[in-house]
């Protein structure tokens, strides 16, 4: 096995090395998963997402230094840097907008008289995020897309090498399949984590209903219809954010983390963590650290 420069990565091969590699990777993965679960249970936010977030942030200073070095040596024009920075901030603005966007379904609660007290009668809403799946679809899609290239490094067969080359980043087929995988995992993860039938049943038990829609099955069908529509928008948004900046960056050959997937993970995890910290502060009767305004969804 050799690296991109042709230098051997593994100096000593054999069964012992293979067993040690499998054992090390398995133990390391198990430890990271355990650490992520501990962070989720005892901390704030999703542990695995925070670990990925920290890994991306830790590599940014080196990438910035390499970009400055390439500009000073004349490998890339200096005018490219402001253009890429403008594109990065534009992508961040789009991510923040869509990650906080919601489709609010109005909910009305029927009045109930218990003794001398009247309960219910107030109006509320059911917030549905445009991107319920979050950063999971691009993470799953990129992990699966890396599998053929990994297999190609171990199996030195002609047709396997050709298949791995056609699925390597930068090819048209790679980007097409990447978009399909992102859209698939958007719908798959949304279907796994959000059950319209269960939501409609809970509303019915609590005396809530959607105005103009019968409680029960009709409400579940209406919620599912709305959820499908906003998931389509969310899937298109994820595909554009993850693929388009990567294509532009690959053409400019800039070694910086302007890629849409990395920005999506960083911004998405930051927004989620800030929202959870804010909710914990509010639960404990604190004002929160964002006095100018809370993070609110757009509807």
- CA 89, 94, 95, 99 dihedral sign is positive
**Residues of the chain scoring pLDDT < 70:** 1-13, 111-121, 152-153, 249-259, 285-299
> What are the Cα distances from residue 272, in Å, to 45, 50, 125, 184?
7, 10, 21, 23
pLDDT in tens, 108-121: 887 666 666 666 56
- Looking at residue 26, its pLDDT comes to 93
Residue 289 belongs to some domain of the structure: no
Domain residues for the domain of 278 are: 77-283
- What CATH number is given to the structural domain containing 145? 1.10.3370.10
Q: How many domains does the chain have?
A: 1
Place of tokens 């995890």: 269
Residue 15 belongs to some domain of the structure: no
- Looking at residue 261, its pLDDT comes to 78
Residue 26 belongs to some domain of the structure: no
> What are the Cα distances from residue 132, in Å, to 138, 190, 214, 234, 292?
13, 6, 25, 8, 26
- Looking at residue 23, its pLDDT comes to 93
Residue 164 belongs to some domain of the structure: yes
Residue 22 belongs to some domain of the structure: no
- 6 sits in which H/E element: none
**How does DSSP classify residue 257?**
S
Report the 10 Å Cβ neighbour count for 293.
Answer: 7
- Looking at residue 119, its pLDDT comes to 60
Residue 28 belongs to some domain of the structure: no
Residue 6 belongs to some domain of the structure: no
CB neighbour list of residue 108: distance below 8 Å, 6 or more residues apart: 123, 124, 208, 209, 210, 211
- Looking at residue 233, its pLDDT comes to 93
pLDDT in tens, 9-60: 666 667 888 888 889 999 999 999 999 888 888 877 778 888 888 888 888 8
- Looking at residue 255, its pLDDT comes to 56
The burial of 117, by beta-carbon neighbours within 10 Å (0-12 exposed, 13-18 middle, 19 or more buried), is given as: exposed
d(CA 231, CA 225): 10
Residue 181 belongs to some domain of the structure: yes
């Amino acid at each position: 096995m050799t690296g991109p420069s042709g230098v051997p990565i593994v100096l000593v091969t054999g069964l012992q090395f293979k067993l040690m590699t499998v054992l090390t990777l398995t133990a390391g993965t198990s430890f990271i998963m355990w650490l992520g679960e501990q962070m989720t249970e005892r901390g704030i936010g999703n542990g695995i997402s925070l670990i990925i977030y920290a890994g991306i942030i830790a590599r940014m200073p080196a990438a910035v230094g390499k970009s400055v070095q390439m500009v000073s040596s004349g490998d890339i024009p200096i005018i490219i840097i402001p253009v890429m920075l403008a594109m990065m901030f534009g992508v961040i603005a789009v991510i923040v907008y869509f990650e906080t966007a919601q489709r609010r379904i109005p909910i009305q609660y029927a009045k109930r008289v218990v003794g001398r007290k009247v309960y219910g009668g107030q109006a509320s809403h059911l917030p549905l995020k445009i991107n319920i799946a979050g950063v999971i679809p691009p993470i799953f899609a990129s992990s699966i897309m890396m599998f053929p290239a990994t297999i190609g490094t171990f199996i030195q067969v002609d047709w396997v090498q050709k298949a791995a080359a056609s699925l390597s980043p930068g090819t048209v087929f790679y980007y097409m399949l990447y978009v399909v995988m992102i859209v698939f995992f958007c719908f798959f993860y949304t279907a796994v984590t959000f059950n319209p039938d269960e939501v409609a049943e809970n509303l019915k038990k609590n005396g809530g209903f959607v105005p103009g829609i019968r409680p029960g099955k009709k409400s579940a069908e209406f919620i599912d219809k709305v959820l499908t529509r906003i998931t389509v928008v969310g899937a298109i948004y994820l595909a554009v954010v993850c693929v388009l900046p990567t294509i532009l960056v690959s053409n400019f050959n800039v070694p910086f983390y302007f890629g849409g997937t990395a920005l999506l993970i960083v911004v998405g995890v930051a927004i989620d963590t800030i929202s959870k910290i804010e909710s914990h502060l509010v639960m404990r009767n604190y004002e929160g650290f964002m006095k100018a305004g809370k993070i609110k969804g757009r509807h």
